[in-house]
Amino acid sequence: MKNDEKDTQNEERVEVAISEVTHDMHINVCEWCADWYGDYPLQNVANLVEPPFGSSRVFRGGSWCSDASSCYSSNRNNRYPPNITRDYLGFRVALDE
């Protein structure tokens, strides 16, 4: 096997690994957020302030049961109050250092 053939195989493995991570992050479950849902202002805002309370929390992204048009991280929804559970809603644990 030539060196250039070996490099091509390694690049393909890296692409597969990256796509699997992206797939896991974007379409496993929709992600609950701490923000209460509110309409965005019509004008551009430098530092958007979310409402201090509301009836539904924001969840973002798509899940295993979403159509392709919903499977991106900036997709924003508010269909459910925060006490609802669904098999396609989850959350991501994050550490603030």
- pLDDT higher than threshold 70 for residue 14: no
Average pLDDT, the chain: 75
Q: In which residue are the tokens 């797939």 written? A: 23
Q: Quick one: tokens of 62?
A: 């798509």
Is pLDDT at 19 greater than 70 in this prediction? no
Instruction: Give pLDDT, residue 49.
Output: 80
The distance between the two most distant Cα atoms of the chain, rounded to a whole number of Å, is 63
Geometric angle at alpha carbon 51, from 82 and 57, rounded to 5°:
15
pLDDT value, residue 26: 56
Task: Find residue 32's DSSP bridge partners.
Answer: 59
**Residue 79: per-residue pLDDT:** 81
Query: What pLDDT sits at residue 1?
Result: 47
Average pLDDT over residues 33-55: 84
**Assigned token pair, 2:** 């030539």
Local confidence band at 10 (pLDDT 50, 70, 90 cut-offs):
very low
Distance CA 86, CA 75 (A): 18
